[in-house]
Structure 1
């Protein structure tokens, strides 16, 4: 069950599943399903299975009972049974919910059948092209089979369809960290904005720190060495219309990070410096006119962060994404003292219209 709980994070559990079919079911069947869902929510999976089986004895074709049984089997690592139920659901129900494809593909993934899982997710996407969770699951499976370019494209579609899916931003950051630093930074920051206090945020901060400090090394008491990476050179020497070419901004960010060791910045906190570097990065990208540059990050992340900077929220964002950093009470203290600023930032972000 490697990805099961993660992949079902946005699954609509009960209420939204084929409401018409459930409405027609006998009261006893509906009561049994309701009991099963309650037991499932309590983690009592074996007892939930018994309720769903009782319901199916009374109504063998009840869609909701079959779906809930399949999902519960998944948590019990009974993946072969999940596959059999999902096959039947798709055969018998032309209008089967997108979540059937989600748990079907997940079960195949857990059975070490990634190619079959990819096929099921793609079938689901063809039928439900606006379902972000299907793109996310597809991307996870593609990444597990080292199809990184395809996985990146799937994760880009996942965040387009659901801009608040933190896991998709997180994995997109990891997929692009080695090949394209600036998009990876934006994906990392967005993940941390959505999950500033989670356990995963600590790992997210480590990724962001490495990205922000990439190419800068202190080699002596008063000496700093800048390394221009091959990817940076490739982008700077490449065609300007190359998708997601951030060579110029990448170099600027390296130079800005080198200033962390400058005497004039020695008394500034890490959060203040982060805000300054993000501001400098956004300013540079704004001057390059994002609308003139092709690529996912130029059209998706860059306008968001430029608009956020113009609204004056970058300092607040810098503090917010440091919330989980251990041993740095300065950020936590600032957040405790400025709840209205954090609320205003999050409300602004909620209202922001992301490109589809």
Structure 2
């Protein structure tokens, strides 16, 4: 049986999903690999004391939700530890930022949300600004993984919304997406991005997390690529045994991603077991590269392996991109693409 004869093979390029505000809100929880993330299951690298210090900082932040114990007749009233309403985790990829963010989410009582910056901006797009604020108001905690600085309009909109939510009593936690060669490394990066959002940075305590990629793979590994014949045999075999497998030309997929909002990428890959990409090529268009990064993030969160032909996926970003302002974002994606093609996806609760 050939690939053309296998009717079970899916084309991602034929999927153009829609998504509602309610669906987006329902997905605002930690990815599956962080379903049981806790402060105790985080494994700090003792060579980098800031990792253990970050755990203690977040435990202190979480004490804001502990009920006040009534003082005894002769005892002094215990004073609650005062913390800022926001905490901002700043560090490289693979040091455990997302794990710690998810652990904090699990500690929070009541209604709470966990999502990427893109998911929150998509929520505003679906519900409108007032609708999104109404939905999120009254929540105990909002976690934002990889706070984006790519789009000034989105950034200002998010900072305005977060300021309103903080004023109403909601606490905020975020991880950074600061390019390593940008101003503000080690501080709340957004305060160096636009004057208009300096007020928001005042709500946050920055927690720096140093260290190496916990996989120790960094970006020196190599994504696994196969020849076209092996690719076809693999895809046919997977489809024949009932796996939901896709097969798309890389260029076609990249072009299709431009027609689908990144918030919908998660629905594009819904129900898929393995993703197949043929003839992977080096990208030279920054917007296409950033869309691919967003797509790979969703694939990685969903823990879907990738089989590919062409140049190794970890080499798709050209030298100009890797030397530019989004270097950190690209290197994080490279690390994830290596894991997706080599079967080195982390065990639950082990990601960054």
- Report the structure, 1 or 2, having the larger strand content: 2
Report TM bin, short chain: under 0.3
- Report which structure shows greater RCO (CA 8 Å, sep ≥6): 2
Q: TM-score, normalised on structure 1?
A: 0.25
TM-score (norm 2): 0.25
- Structure showing the higher helix proportion among its residues: 1
